[in-house]
A and B are shown apart, each in its own frame.
Chain A
Amino acid sequence: MNFLKLKKNFNSTLKDTPESRLVVADAPETVALLPSMTPFVKPRLLVKEKDKVSIGTPLFEDKRSVSLRYLSPGAGEVIKVKLGPRRVIEEIVIAIDPDEAMDQHLLNVISQAASTSQATSTSRAASTSRPASTSRPVSVSQPSSTSRPASTSRAASISRAASTSQPASTSGGSGAKEGAPTHDNLSPQNIHEIMLAAGMWQMIRQFPFMDTARHGQAKDEAGEPEFLKFPMIIVSLRPGDMFSPLPSTVLKGREEDFFQGLAILGKLSPMVVVAAPSDQMPHLKKIERSITHVVGDKWPCGDPGVILYQIKKDSSQNRSATIHPQDLLALGAFFGRGLYDLHRIYAVGGRCGDRPCHIRARLGSPLSLVTGPLPRDHGVVTGSIFTGRHALPQSHMGFGEYSAVVVDGGQREHAFGFLVPGETLMSESLTFLSSMNQDPLHFDMNLHGEERACINCGVCHHKCPVDLLPQFLMKALGAGEMEEALGMGLLDCTLCGLCSCVCPSKIELTQIMGQAKEIYLNENIENPV
């Protein structure tokens, strides 16, 4: 186990971070997919309003790579396709039917996955696969055993177990190992195809753009498609900030899915890195043997891009990949138990109605379900307060977003803001008294100043976890010198947001870098090297 030390991180402690306790949310009335939130995708709609869809019906696909389809997280009627400025598809909202059915195509994929995974019998998976004290069934269970022939009738048995409030789990005991599928028959190419068909390939994000991995199109000598393995896959158990779900809560009782997921990743890459935050290590005894690296507990120590920067040996590892731990669990459940897991654990923080905690809810749940009613002048930031989005209250949780933070968002001015001692004001600098104590601080969405020209103070560089010089990068990009910016390491930027956060001139450094990376990616897609 290696320790990765990172001196440059976000030091302030903030109020109202989520506690480890887990609450199960009610079943949502609507769920949604958010195409505009999916990185670097040019969506083409495959449904229209008033269409009936089932779980797994493709809702949209990527125009540039049509095999990437985004499947519906719920069954019911498409009640709204919300368009934003310039006809960007913002949300596809589905009203959930009481009787949710699964798409036939997805059922076939599940049975294919189950039959290819060479599994010894495991009866447990069939019986305990459904969680949640929800009144309606949500996740669809599928026994992974191959002892019975794959049939649609059996696969369609949507579990109606509504009693147990335990998280979906194989009861990870001593017998877990012998019952687990070994996936020996699965080639990387099989896994790739199955994941694509199940709409799960999008879970794997590839550096340096954190876009959906565009791997696997190579052909071997015989002309057969061959999967090019990733140089490295990084699983950071807490890839988000202080408001992201705690690995101890997420992994509780799901160790077996975790190992299954890692086994699948092991097929896709010779090197799977599992990084755990140091403060969580005492709670992660059960999976300790899988952990390869221990990182700090502050943002952005757990950011997979930062971990990659710290451990990469040469530039061949730049195209490594990463997967969110909860997606990894879903992957493990899918291949190990044939369970198409539609639930995620969301961390809720900030001034949310109840105390900050973890909430188990459907993928794409409405924000109001997750956060409860908002206090006046407050907004919701989903994803992460450093990298996420400022969501509208009527919006839904997006793909890849695992936390929702209710943040103070009122317009205000500070009287004599440049002179106050500031014992309660959040700052990474030492110019406020708050730097003297470690008490959790209030935080808000305000800019705390006006935008100015860069004064070259270098605060951004002193916070950059990947040792970039954001002030010089910003100037190079402002002058249109993309080559120079690339040479200075633009693509190492993980968009962690610390530079923008601390900039005294309030320059949107992160935004500038993100836009530059996007421009470069789009150029690369159109003119591949």
Chain B
Amino acid sequence: MKTLKTLFEKLDPHFRSGGALFRFFGIYQATRTFFFLPSPVNRSAPHVRDHLDVKRFMSFVILALIPVTLFGMYNVGYQYYSALSGVDDAGFFQIFSRGASQVLPIILVSYGVGFFWEILFATIRGHEVTEGLLVTGLLFPLTLPPTIPLWQVAAGISFGIVIGKEIFGGTGRNLLNPALTARAFIFFSYPASISGNGVWMVMPPEVSSMDITGGVQTEALGGIQMNVLNEAHMDAMSGATALALGQDTGYIEATLEQAGFTLKTLFFGLHPGSIGETSTLLCFLGAIFLMFTRVASYRIILGGVAGVVATSLILNLLPGPQGTWFAAGPLYHLCSGGFALGISYMATDPVSAPGTDVGRWIYGFLIGFLTVLIRAVNPAYVEGVMLAILFMNLFSPFIDHVTVKVMVSKRIPNV
């Protein structure tokens, strides 16, 4: 630590104004503050300051995301080997390293390209490299399917960072969640890589050469040819996510169960899906950690859960198609798709969420409401969380406006 400090002190003059490497001050500053958090003496009241700063604030989100990321890697490997019917033969490390070799490049590209833009803007604008990217750079890969081409990761994070954040002025001034902006960009620009049934798991070459998008899948989903394929194998081959299922006849629970999506599987997360979204358990464990440390607003998360539960219960009671997600109860809605990931880490991004307590309840609830609504009644998009959160991001200034007005009207005027 001491040698590192001496090194920084030696390098310092070169990066200062007038030094030969002044143009790289942003990189230098970011590296140095990563190791040594600056703590100047403040000259104005109050004279004691909390140790919590944005860097630690954001680090806690990453801390909560680490189990989700590691499980995501394991799950990618698990799906790979279960497609090979060899998940029992493969050891833990074999599974994990297979998944990691798929996921790590995505994360590295996301961080690398993200930091490039961040430092570029910071250098041009002459401010410090901000910490928001630490979270964005990890959240974005977790929302992607493991098969995503790396160049699309680079394009997506570039869009998310530049259009979603930097043109508004950087972290703290953005309207939309940058990670979701990046994902929405991929979603609408390259739908083939991020929707459909073939992208949610990494297929071994011999399996993916089979026709998995045609007859086998359809029939398998109908439950007709269950005798042909064992459950896990079928599920693996179809590669569909639970949300893509649903039909006009029958019951959604039965359909899901036949396809291998029991509530337990959905909850623990060993099923195909985006890298980080599959394990509801780990997402919510992280959420509890963030709520406990008050880094994430419990109002948003609980509001979102309440929104999902209330909306899905109402839809469940309404007469409607019993075979689609319209009729899936609250538990299935909570555990499937990216809801757990989205409500815990994306919706709680304080920058794009409302700033008032009441506003946060409303915001969370409406995200839950819209998520279920999009899943249940909009056949075009099987996944509703991303759109629900982005939509509510746009509304949060309005929610703030209204709730602040209400709060102000309750005050005893003082002018």
A residues touching B (Cβ–Cβ < 8 Å)?
14, 208, 312-315, 318, 379, 381, 383-390, 407, 409-419, 422, 425-432, 443-450, 452-459, 461, 467, 469, 471-472, 486-489, 491-492, 495, 497-498, 500-506, 508, 510-511
Contacts and interface: CB of A to CB of B under 8 A. Distances in A.
Contacts of B170: 453
A415 B34 CA distance: 8
B171 interface: yes
B413 A504 contact: no
11 contacts: A415-B1, A418-B53, A418-B55, A456-B172, A458-B350, A459-B294, A489-B408, A489-B411, A491-B414, A495-B45, A508-B44
Interface in B366-415: 400, 404, 407-408, 411-415
Interface in B338-377: 350-351, 353, 355-357
A314 B412 CA distance: 6
B41 A414 contact: no
A411 B48 contact: no
B172 A417 contact: no
B59 A419 contact: yes
B45 A389 contact: yes
A312 B49 contact: no
Contacts of B35: 415-416
A456 B350 contact: yes
Given A414-B36, A414-B37, A426-B51, A454 B44 contact: no
A469 B37 CA distance: 28
Contacts of B50: 426-429, 448, 501-504
A390 B47 CA distance: 8
Given A418-B37, A419-B59, A453-B171, A447 B411 contact: no
B405 to A, nearest CB: 9
A427 B57 CA distance: 12
B362 to A, nearest CB: 14
Nearest to A314: B412
B53 A504 contact: yes
B49 A500 contact: yes
A480 B51 CA distance: 31
Nearest to B297: A458
Interface of B: 1, 5, 33, 35-57, 59-60, 128, 130-132, 169-173, 292-295, 297, 350-351, 353, 355-357, 400, 404, 407-408, 411-415
B48 A413 contact: no
Contacts of B173: 453
B33 A450 contact: yes
Contact of A411 (B40, B55, B407, B414): B40
Given A415-B1, A453-B170, A456-B172, A472 B44 contact: no
Contacts of B350: 455-458
A453 B44 contact: no
Contacts of B48: 14, 385-386, 407, 426, 443-445, 501
A472 B413 contact: no
B45 A386 contact: yes
Nearest to B299: A458
A321 to B, nearest CB: 15
Contacts of B172: 452-456, 505
B130 A417 contact: no
B43 to A, nearest CB: 6
B83 to A, nearest CB: 38
A478 to B, nearest CB: 12
Contacts of A456: 172, 350-351, 353, 355
Nearest to A491: B414
B404 A469 contact: yes
Contact of B171 (A390, A414, A455): A455
B87 to A, nearest CB: 35
B123 to A, nearest CB: 16
Nearest to B2: A415
Given A450-B33, A453-B130, A388 B45 contact: yes
A262 B44 CA distance: 34
A435 B295 CA distance: 14
A407 B51 contact: no
Nearest to B169: A453
Contacts of A386: 45-48
A449 B52 CA distance: 8
Contacts of B36: 413-415, 417
Given A419-B59, A501-B48, A430 B293 contact: yes
B47 A407 contact: yes
Given A504-B57, A510-B45, 16 more contacts: A14-B48, A385-B46, A414-B36, A415-B5, A419-B56, A427-B51, A430-B293, A431-B56, A431-B295, A449-B52, A449-B56, A458-B357, A467-B407, A488-B408, A501-B48, A502-B52
B51 A425 contact: yes
A446 B294 contact: no
Nearest to A432: B51
A365 to B, nearest CB: 21
A414 to B, nearest CB: 4
A431 B60 contact: yes
Nearest to B172: A453
Contact of A488 (B43, B128, B169, B404): B404
Interface centre among A389, A412, A446, A492 (most CB of B within 10 A): A446
Contacts of A510: 44-46
A448 B404 contact: no
A422 B37 CA distance: 14
A469 B49 contact: no
Nearest to A419: B59
Contact of B42 (A387, A429, A445, A486): A445
B38 A450 contact: yes
A387 B171 contact: no
Contacts of B353: 456
A411 B55 CA distance: 19
Contacts of B297: 458
Contacts of A428: 50, 52
A284 to B, nearest CB: 28
Nearest 4 pairs of A and B residues by beta carbon: A449-B53, A417-B37, A453-B172, A497-B46
A446 B53 CA distance: 12
Nearest to B37: A417
A305 to B, nearest CB: 11
Contacts of A313: 412
B38 A387 contact: no
A449 B130 CA distance: 12
B57 A489 contact: no
A390 B415 CA distance: 31
Given A456-B172, A472-B400, A422 B51 contact: yes
Nearest to A496: B46
A479 to B, nearest CB: 13
Nearest to A490: B414
B59 A446 contact: no
Contact of A446 (B1, B41, B404): B41
Nearest to A410: B41
B3 to A, nearest CB: 12
Given A431-B293, A456-B355, A461-B355, A413 B408 contact: no
Given A429-B294, A450-B53, A445 B37 contact: no
Nearest to B132: A455
A14 B357 CA distance: 30
Nearest to B356: A469
B49 A446 contact: yes
Contacts of A501: 46, 48-50
Contacts of A503: 50
Interface centre among A412, A453, A455 (most CB of B within 10 A): A455
Nearest to B413: A315
Interface centre among A208, A413, A430 (most CB of B within 10 A): A413
A206 to B, nearest CB: 13
Given A387-B45, A431-B60, A412 B39 contact: yes
Nearest to A463: B50
Contacts of B171: 452-453, 455
A497 B45 CA distance: 7
B27 to A, nearest CB: 16
